[in-house]
């Protein structure tokens, strides 16, 4: 569910008409709904009611300061995967005790940053990382709270590029070696082993892979406790998918996910952390673009937009689907046509959809890419020296630009010319 609906034949973000934003900001741009972000966070928080828990937003999905502050005010923690994300979280007012640091390649500088600024835990991914963290924490005379990410060798049944829980993936340690690695961790100075971390992938549309992984985590918790480890926190990662198409095949709801967590892990009396990103931000944002040309090809029509693969990379990178709707609602029975929906970048990969049937479009018409709030703006670039597009946030009847479009001069002036030129 989201708050991007047609009202009187015009697509709105909450109570703001999309053409009003276009008139102020120009196309293309991303726009986010405060109400949708709030609702989706609350659904997860409510799903784990009755358990000691913290919902840590995976800010890699969408990390604008306005989004982070919106969620922080609701009590969200943050899951970060770089020093830059840690700095963003702290700048948004998130206290260190609500920040979890994940990722396979944490550097010494990132560890120092988190240890001095405050951290809830490090999700450690390897023995070499654990040894380095031990040394850095000892430098500061502190203990670094850690979970160790275990790889349960579970097929997440998702796109290969976003699956992370199989034995061939780069993430975590094999669950078969967990007891050995936990024993090493317990013997290291500057390390406080507090729990277990697991994350099997992104955009999962079934509960079964989660349940298989969590059953293995439950068994491991009992074994590690028997070995003398005080396992008191389970970080279950994120990954619950969102509907990218309007169909009857919606992914499981957060309430169903929460019920499964309680059933499989509730008896352990551990604090539960989850790290949703896409499910909170995905349907909370759309990408608005304008048609530049309608081009007749040999056997097809091309809808050429002012948005491109540098603005929304998911279709080119993952063959991802986004519903593309006209901003002005078509009349009942309006003529329809099939289009290859493309951007202006000089690559054939700059294609959003092939043979997409939609209302007949003309130059100057506006379209909205649905479910574009996650892994949209954060993965954008200035390829072809195309400026990063604005981000806009709506709250009821108000809207504000939360990232402006840079000018060409601003882009060019970031470069420096060596003295010999």
Rg (CA), the chain: 23
Structure tokens at 165: 């829980």
346 in active site = yes
Residue 139, Ramachandran bin (φ over 0: left; ψ between -120 and 50: alpha; else beta): alpha
Nearest alpha carbon to residue 197 among 102, 281, 283: 102
4-7 and 10-13 as β-strands: parallel, antiparallel, unpaired? antiparallel
Task: Compute the half-sphere exposure of residue 283: CA atoms within 13 Å on the CB side of its CA.
Answer: 23
Q: Which two tokens stand for residue 388?
A: 């990063």
- Torsion angle in degrees (nearest 10) through CA of 67, 71, 73, 77: -120
Q: Is the peptide bond before 298 cis (omega within 30 degrees of 0)?
A: no
Indicate which residue of 346, 409, 417, 418 is catalytic. 346
Alpha carbon distances (Å) from 336 to 207, 339, 340, 358? 37, 10, 13, 6
The catalytic residues are: 346
């Amino acid at each position: 569910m989201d708050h991007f609906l047609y009202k009187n034949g015009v697509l709105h973000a909450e109570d703001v008409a999309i053409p009003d934003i276009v008139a102020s900001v120009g196309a293309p741009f991303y726009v986010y709904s405060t109400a949708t972000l709030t609702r989706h966070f609350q659904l997860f928080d409510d799903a784990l009611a009755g358990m000691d828990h913290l919902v840590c937003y995976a800010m890699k999905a969408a990390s604008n300061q306005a989004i982070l502050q919106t969620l922080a005010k609701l009590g969200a923690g943050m899951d970060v995967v770089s020093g830059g994300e840690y700095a963003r979280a702290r700048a948004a007012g998130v206290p260190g005790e609500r920040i979890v640091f994940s990722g396979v390649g944490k550097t010494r500088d990132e560890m120092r940053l988190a240890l001095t600024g405050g951290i809830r835990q490090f999700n450690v991914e390897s023995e070499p990382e654990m040894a380095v963290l031990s040394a850095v924490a000892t430098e500061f005379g502190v203990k670094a709270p850690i979970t160790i990410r275990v790889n349960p060798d579970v097929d997440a049944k998702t796109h290969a590029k976003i699956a992370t829980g199989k034995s061939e993936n780069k993430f975590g340690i094999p669950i078969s070696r967990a007891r050995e690695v936990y024993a090493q961790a317990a013997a290291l100075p500057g390390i406080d082993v507090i729990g277990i971390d697991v994350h099997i992938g992104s955009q999962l549309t079934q509960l079964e892979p989660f349940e298989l992984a969590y059953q293995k985590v439950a068994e491991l918790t009992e074994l590690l406790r028997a070995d003398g480890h005080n396992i008191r926190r389970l970080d279950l990662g994120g990954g619950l998918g969102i509907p990218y198409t309007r169909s009857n095949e919606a992914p499981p709801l957060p309430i169903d996910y929460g019920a499964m967590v309680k059933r499989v892990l509730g008896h352990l009396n551990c604090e539960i952390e989850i790290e949703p990103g896409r499910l909170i931000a995905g349907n909370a944002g759309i990408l608005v673009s304008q048609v530049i040309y309608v081009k007749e090809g040999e056997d097809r029509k091309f809808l050429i937009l002012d948005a491109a693969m540098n603005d929304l990379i998911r279709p080119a990178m993952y063959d991802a689907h986004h519903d593309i709707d006209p901003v002005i609602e078509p009349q009942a029975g309006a003529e329809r046509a099939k289009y290859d929906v493309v951007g202006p970048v000089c690559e054939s990969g700059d294609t959003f959809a092939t043979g997409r049937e939609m209302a007949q479009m003309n130059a100057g018409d506006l379209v909205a890419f649905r479910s574009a709030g996650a892994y949209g703006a954060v993965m954008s670039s200035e390829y072809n020296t195309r400026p990063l597009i604005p981000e806009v946030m709506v709250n009821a009847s108000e809207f504000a630009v939360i990232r402006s479009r840079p000018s060409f001069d601003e882009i060019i002036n970031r470069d420096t010319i060596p003295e010999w030129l």
